[in-house]
Chain A
Amino acid sequence: MAIMQFEEKTVDSLTVGDFALFTKTVSETDITLYAGISADFAPVHMNEPFGQGTRFGGRVAHPMLTGAMVGGAIFRLLSPGSYPIKREFQMEAPVYPGDTVTIRAEVAALDRDKKTVSVQFEAYNQKRELVLCGTSLEGMDLMDAEINRRE
């Protein structure tokens, strides 16, 4: 058997209030690559003159790009034993290319019977303004899978 070590994170090893952070500057490259993999070429993200004509005063990053960075924080909080069941978020303020976004993901509730974790997350920019908030329901029974027990 190959050597593979993972810190065992389970619904029992977590406590309400545990949190993880993930910070990253949202670069021009991120936006270009993100448009390429998502096929979202909406002008508010990709067309500078159009962006300048909007109330944002310039192009803004795709909301889903910031929304997806939540995965960076939840990964640090729960991985490797978790998988998302349901995620929802809402945008509070725009993220501009070059902004540095910090995601904070916190364990809000634990269901030890169903082996699920409710995670509450927020994203802040470098001015500490809230740009996004939401919740995620994560399954934590991955490591109990039948195939895992057979090992």
Chain B
Amino acid sequence: MKELELKEAEKTVESIPMGQKAYFSKTVTEGDVALFAGITGAFEPLSMNQEFAEKTSGLSRRVQTMLLATYTWPVSTQIASPGAVTIAQESTFLKPVKIGDTITAVGEVTKKILEKKIVIVRTTCYNQEGEMVMDGSVVELMRVH
């Protein structure tokens, strides 16, 4: 009898095709913002204080920018995990995201450095109107052992 396979095969820099894409969508809720503040200590008044947010930006409370950067992780994980360790990340924030907005993160393999076992995933986030709200990249090292 064939042994039951319960372990996912690890990916390698060779097995990930250039241009591979992954998507992740999520509505950012009040709960996400509160939990994120508790986990990270980032109690930015723009995100946590309605009065302050309205007075300074004319908008309701916005999502912490790093919470937005967080949504690049599920797409880079879909592409590279298991078998990858993230070693660097960068993101440029283009537009504020309000609580209740629905964010779609898109990941695309744009570069592979075979000898260094590195995969670079460009990560962008869009809101429900299709506007790009974040642009950045994640560097994955394809070596866990």
Contact = CB atoms under 8 A, between A and B. Distances in A.
Interface residues of A, number: 52
Interface string B81-93: 1101111111111
B66 A39 contact: no
A86 B90 contact: yes
A84 interface: yes
A43 B81 contact: yes
A141 to B, nearest CB: 10
B2 interface: no
Nearest to B86: A63
A43 B24 CA distance: 18
B15 interface: no
Contact of A54 (B42, B54, B144): B144
A72 B91 contact: no
Nearest to B58: A147
A50 to B, nearest CB: 7
Contacts of A64: 66, 69-70, 73, 86, 89
A91 B144 contact: no
Interface string B28-39: 000010011011
A5 to B, nearest CB: 11
Nearest to B39: A30
Contact of A145 (B40, B58, B66): B58
A44 B35 contact: no
B93 A84 contact: yes
B46 A44 contact: no
A69 B38 CA distance: 10
B40 A65 contact: yes
A71 B56 contact: no
Contacts of A70: 66
Contact of A88 (B55, B86, B89): B89
Given A42-B82, A64-B70, 11 more contacts: A4-B51, A37-B39, A44-B82, A55-B144, A63-B86, A68-B40, A75-B42, A80-B56, A83-B93, A89-B89, A142-B57
15 contacts: A4-B52, A4-B55, A6-B45, A37-B70, A38-B71, A39-B24, A44-B144, A64-B70, A68-B39, A68-B70, A71-B65, A83-B93, A86-B91, A91-B87, A142-B56
